[in-house]
């Protein structure tokens, strides 16, 4: 399988820039199709989770799961290959609610 490269913004950095308090426990993510998932804030503090804008150097269109996609670094952390993390890979991201 070919390695796919994603580029984007570290979710932890985004929370830092927005001055999100450290006691936040989750991020409620919603996709364009209204799919929702709650991402534990601990994930963002533990791993370099990104909001990807590009896949293999190209901006992602809605047709290709863009324009934004939450991506976990599975290639670098074997524990992220567990099935329980699959639902957190939300694509076509439209909204983040900080709880």
90, part of any domain: yes
Asked if 58 and 67 touch (Cβ cutoff 8 Å), the reply is: no
83, part of any domain: yes
Is the pLDDT at 79 greater than 80? The verdict is yes
3-state DSSP call for residue 12? helix
1, part of any domain: no
Segment 45-77, tens digit of pLDDT: 999 999 999 999 999 999 999 999 999 999 999
pTM of the model: 0.91
- What does the pLDDT average to over 2-30? 95
The boundaries of the domain holding residue 53 are 6-98
Tell me how many domains the chain contains: 1
State the CATH number of the domain containing residue 42.
3.90.420.10
**pLDDT the model gives residue 62:** 97
46, part of any domain: yes
63, part of any domain: yes
**pLDDT the model gives residue 3:** 87
**pLDDT the model gives residue 2:** 80
């Amino acid at each position: 399988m070919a390695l796919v490269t994603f580029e984007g913004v570290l979710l932890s950095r985004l929370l830092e820039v927005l001055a999100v308090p450290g006691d936040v426990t989750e991020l409620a993510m919603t996709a364009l199709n209204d799919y929702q998932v709650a991402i534990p804030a601990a994930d963002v503090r533990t791993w370099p989770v990104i909001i990807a804008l590009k896949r293999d150097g190209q901006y992602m269109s809605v047709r290709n799961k863009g324009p934004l996609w939450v991506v976990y670094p599975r290639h670098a952390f074997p524990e992220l290959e567990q099935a329980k993390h699959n639902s957190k890979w939300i694509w076509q991201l439209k909204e983040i609610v900080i709880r």
